[in-house]
Structure 1
Amino acid sequence: MHAPIRPVAVVLAAVALCAACAGAAPAAPVTPSGTPEPVPPAPPPVVVLDPGHNGGNAADPAAINRPVPDGRGGTKACNTTGTATDDGYPEHAFNWDLAQRVRQRLEAAGVRVVLTRPDDDGVGPCVDERGAAGGRAGAAAVVSLHADGAAPAAAGFHVAHADPPVHGTGPEALRLAGTLRDALRAGGFTPAGYIGQDGLDGRPDLAGLNHSTVPAALVEAGNMRNAAEARVLSSPEGRERYADAVSAGVLGYLGR
């Protein structure tokens, strides 16, 4: 005996019901013309670059010496003038130049970059304001750019992170610092032997890091008082190398 033939409509209804029971994904939205609606692109990640110090700081000692919260219940000076090479190349100029080079590379990779200061001619902003910049911008990371002013025999870069950690950012801040360290080392730069350990330096006293509510790290690219490192830090070719390494570290952290 042959099985009874079911009406086509009943069969189709059963198939549709089974698909729904099986958790089939709903159909993608379509336009009135019947074509799938375009999926809007995800917003680009935001990175805050903080070029340390500022070109006008030395002209206004009252402003940069006023106390501001240090992020751990104390206070510290709003900012400082920074250091310089023995030939007079100032740290603030290095930091600003490096930030522009890193910015170009990150923006070319689809990252939106926010700077904590608009030029190299002003005063400040204070370290607590710089630290809060990442939260205000909705940033994925904050990278502060500096060069050190240690004893002439000291050499090498190091990357600082807040320790003890604050605002629950400790694990990610450490990952950011480690990724930057690895990229600088891959770029041919040597971790410092005079501070921190293996290129990383946990610090409780850096207010910019203490105030950050997003992962933040501070790159000390080298020692401006060391003659050999000063030549690299002072040269456009050297700053290109630093920019390549820092950008690679940031992009590696972002997974791009």
Structure 2
Amino acid sequence: MTSSPRRTLSALALAVGLVAACSTPEAGIPQSMPLPTTAANVAAPTLSQELPVPPTSSSASQAPTSSSATPVKPPAAGKVVVLDPGHNGGNAANPAKINKQVPAGRGQMKACNTTGTATNAGYTEHEFTWDVSVRVRSALTAKGIQVVMTRPNDTGVGPCVDERAAIGNQANATAVVSIHADGSTSPGAHGFHIAYSAPPLNAAQGEPATKLAQTLRDVMASAGFATSTYIGTNGLSPRNDLGGLNLSERPAVLVECGNMRNPDEAAAFASPAGRQRYADAITAGIIKYLG
């Protein structure tokens, strides 16, 4: 969920300033609101548990028995993918840290982060993004792809938007994928969209980022996910206000998986099987981009 216009998290927590997305510039979409700096009255949202990362089978890396055979190169060997699960489980209880202003690119300053949004039943965005990101990480590492996460768990605070971008830059990432879900209250609003920095501020934000966005869009659409009915065009949304994208020196996109306030999509988000579908599609899109 992005940091432009307004949206709400839940009855217990006012939203804080977003990391890279989760409120949108379109009319009728609520923006996350900063928590009051004196608030100690907001309980931290329910935390999701980290899924274990299955170890890569040692047999998969054994050299062929034939002395004349050429060892098989692992898929995307040497390439690094940075996964950025939106928000964090400890954000709601730490308004002073989350409201801190940080650089967001293009001369902008924004709040460090936000709590994100939630379904009407209270399933939080930070839980969803963490769960899906861990599933994607597991699938990519099983393919021999190195994965770096911008946060190690779903119990911490932040990191701030500028720090998340720096992680991708320092890792020399081949692709940076930020995972979010939206919170529009517009009637019937549903579907996913992929945001990318535009106009580009460097070469990586040009053709590489556009290709990453289009590849993920195409693969998710082929997997049966509807493109957004209320943001962007044909599932793509060029943005100039998202710090995590503006500050990236690597090909970076932000995937808004859908609308947490839409009953059908909310049910999919809250379901392990539904989250696995999103993870499978995002994984397939990343692998296709890596080539």
Q: TM-score range by the shorter chain?
A: 0.7 to 0.9
Given the alignment of the two structures, is residue 85 of structure 1 paired with residue 119 of structure 2, yes or no?
Answer: yes
Partner of 2:192: 157
Shift of 1:39: 8.9
Letter in 2 for 1:236: P
Structure 2, gaps ≥5 residues long: 1-66
User: In structure 1, what is the Cα distance between the partners aligned to 2:172 and 2:198?
Assistant: 22
User: In structure 2, what is the Cα distance between the partners aligned to 1:142 and 1:190?
Assistant: 23
User: Deviation string for 1:73-94 (max 9, x for gaps)?
Assistant: 1201100000000000000000
Partner of 1:235: 271
User: In structure 2, what is the Cα distance between the partners aligned to 1:92 and 1:143?
Assistant: 15
1:100 alignment partner, one of 134, 143, 161: 134
Letter in 2 for 1:238: G
User: In structure 2, what is the Cα distance between the partners aligned to 1:157 and 1:191?
Assistant: 5
User: Deviation string for 1:145-201 (max 9, x for gaps)?
Assistant: 000001252000000000111221211101000000011101110000101000000
Structure 1, gaps ≥5 residues long: 1-34
3-state secondary structure, aligned to 2:121? coil
User: In structure 2, what is the Cα distance between the partners aligned to 1:92 and 1:124?
Assistant: 11
Q: CA RMSD in A?
A: 1.7
User: Deviation string for 1:76-123 (max 9, x for gaps)?
Assistant: 110000000000000000000000100111111111000000000000
2:201 alignment partner, one of 161, 166, 170: 166
Shift of 1:41: 6.3
Shift of 1:132: 1.6
In structure 2, the CA distance between the partners of 1:234 and 1:40, relative to structure 1 (3 Å rule), is closer
The answer to whether the Cα contact below 8 Å between 1:44 and 1:110 also exists between their aligned partners in 2 is no
Given the alignment of the two structures, is residue 71 of structure 1 paired with residue 105 of structure 2, yes or no?
Answer: yes
3-state secondary structure, aligned to 2:203? coil
Aligned length: 220
Runs of 4+ in 1 over 3 A off after TM superposition: 38-43
Given the alignment of the two structures, is residue 144 of structure 1 paired with residue 178 of structure 2, yes or no?
Answer: yes
2:157 alignment partner, one of 106, 110, 123: 123
Partner of 1:25: none
2:286 alignment partner, one of 240, 247, 250: 250
Larger Rg, first or second structure (1 or 2): 1
Given the alignment of the two structures, is residue 217 of structure 1 paired with residue 258 of structure 2, yes or no?
Answer: no
Given the alignment of the two structures, is residue 178 of structure 1 paired with residue 214 of structure 2, yes or no?
Answer: yes
User: In structure 2, what is the Cα distance between the partners aligned to 1:56 and 1:201?
Assistant: 29
3-state secondary structure, aligned to 2:92? helix
3-state secondary structure, aligned to 2:234? coil
2:94 alignment partner, one of 35, 60, 63: 60
Shift of 1:44: 2.6
Q: TM-score, normalised by structure 1?
A: 0.83
User: In structure 2, what is the Cα distance between the partners aligned to 1:40 and 1:227?
Assistant: 46
The answer to whether the Cα contact below 8 Å between 1:57 and 1:122 also exists between their aligned partners in 2 is yes
Letter in 1 for 2:193: H
In structure 2, the CA distance between the partners of 1:98 and 1:39, relative to structure 1 (3 Å rule), is closer
User: In structure 2, what is the Cα distance between the partners aligned to 1:197 and 1:120?
Assistant: 32
3-state secondary structure, aligned to 1:160? strand
The answer to whether the Cα contact below 8 Å between 1:133 and 1:212 also exists between their aligned partners in 2 is no
User: In structure 2, what is the Cα distance between the partners aligned to 1:236 and 1:39?
Assistant: 37
Partner of 1:20: none
